[in-house]
A = this chain, B = another copy of it.
Amino acid sequence: MTSPAPKVRLDRQHCRELLHQMIRIRRFEEKCAELYTQEKIRGFLHLYIGEEAVAVGVMQALLPDDAIVATYREHGHALVRGVSAGRILAEMYGKQEGCSRGRGGSMHLFDAATRFYGGNAIVGGGLPVATGLALADAMLSRARVTACFFGEGAVAEGEFHESMNLAALWQLPVLFVCENNLYAMGTALDLSESQTDISAKAASYNIASEAVDGMNVVNVEAAARKAASAIRETGKPYFLECRTYRFRAHSMFDPQLYRDKAEVEEWTEKGPIRRFTQWALEAGELHEADLQDIEAIVAQEVAEAVAFAEAGTWEPVADLMRHVGAERQP
């Protein structure tokens, strides 16, 4: 396996790929929101809309053998990583064709084939696990990266602190990706951190760190490539703060009392899809036809995902007690 190059090669094909991936997430999640109101999807649903550039950019730097640990806001990560839209949606339907057999739901997407270790709904809870996955790699001398995504809200948790220290102390190959969207539910960053420069906090553990415009997919990709190749080379952790924004409510229950419409609009202007599209068109890397193409492909993918989820089946109730422990040979 050859490592991804440490630099971005922004040719036409790659531009199209980046845009395609971002639009996949966007359209997929718009459909999810719709399905939620139809009660096809239940529980908590956290949309990633507005933050697509982060997952798309970072994933470019990862290889199949790398691992991913994400949060409850992980549809985008799973999609870009290669978990099929159909299996993700079937999961949200609670069907056994879902990527977690319907046991996990939106917040707990898992996929062994792509080393996608969830979907963790305890804020901060994924960080120690990611650290441990990297510890296994270090002990087995495998030059792999474990990418760990989390929100800026997680930074206040003790588990953040303990994980950062362990990863730095033991020099473990973790790519910590902080998706700083300025809010943890309704709590603004300056109400949760005495030091609001998150990447500066990372540096205090002696971890190489960088803050990047998380609304710019190329910037994210460039930073992630640099980070991942540093990790592969040194075995040490790296911290990437991606400054981004969620356009939608925290979950489907959130009346968004804590922020102005104007603020949301301002950020929407800077939207990662809008901005990249504009740039790519202007630069002549992409044409209107590409956009139409992408939208058509994505629309079909989403439609197929819905069909797949609809056609999915319910695991028999008799199986309730499965997957609590290993099935024992009689």
Q: What residues make up the interface of A, taking CB atoms closer than 8 Å to B?
A: 156-162, 164-165, 168-169, 191-195, 200-201, 203-207
Q: Which of B157, B205, B206 contacts A158 (CB 8 A)?
A: B157
Distance in angstroms from A188 CB to nearest chain B CB is 12
Chain B residues near A156 (CB-CB < 8 A):
161-162, 165
Chain B residues near A205 (CB-CB < 8 A):
194-195
Interface CB pairs A-B, < 8 A, 8: A158-B158, A161-B161, A165-B194, A168-B195, A169-B192, A169-B193, A194-B205, A195-B204
Whose C-beta in chain B lies nearest to the C-beta of A162?
A: B158
- Determine whether the beta carbon of A162 is less than 8 Å from that of B157: yes
- Determine whether the beta carbon of B193 is less than 8 Å from that of A204: no
Instruction: Tell me the bound Cα distance from A160 to B159 in angstroms.
Output: 11
* Copies of this subunit: 2
Q: Which of B160, B192, B206 contacts A161 (CB 8 A)?
A: B160
Whose C-beta in chain B lies nearest to the C-beta of A158?
A: B158
Chain B residues near A200 (CB-CB < 8 A):
204
Instruction: Tell me the bound Cα distance from A158 to B158 in angstroms.
Output: 3
Whose C-beta in chain B lies nearest to the C-beta of A200?
A: B204
Instruction: Tell me the bound Cα distance from A156 to B168 in angstroms.
Output: 12
Q: Which of B159, B165, B168, B201 contacts A204 (CB 8 A)?
A: B201
Distance in angstroms from A132 CB to nearest chain B CB is 16
Distance in angstroms from A205 CB to nearest chain B CB is 5
Instruction: Tell me the bound Cα distance from A168 to B193 in angstroms.
Output: 9
Instruction: Tell me the bound Cα distance from A192 to B159 in angstroms.
Output: 15
Chain B residues near A192 (CB-CB < 8 A):
169
Chain B residues near A159 (CB-CB < 8 A):
158
Distance in angstroms from A32 CB to nearest chain B CB is 33
**Residue picked from A164, A195, A207, most chain B C-beta under 10 Å:** A195
Distance in angstroms from A56 CB to nearest chain B CB is 31
User: Which 9 pairs, one residue from A and one from B, show the smallest C-beta to C-beta distance?
Assistant: A158-B158, A168-B194, A161-B161, A204-B204, A169-B194, A194-B206, A195-B206, A194-B205, A158-B162
Distance in angstroms from A116 CB to nearest chain B CB is 26
Instruction: Tell me the bound Cα distance from A168 to B195 in angstroms.
Output: 9
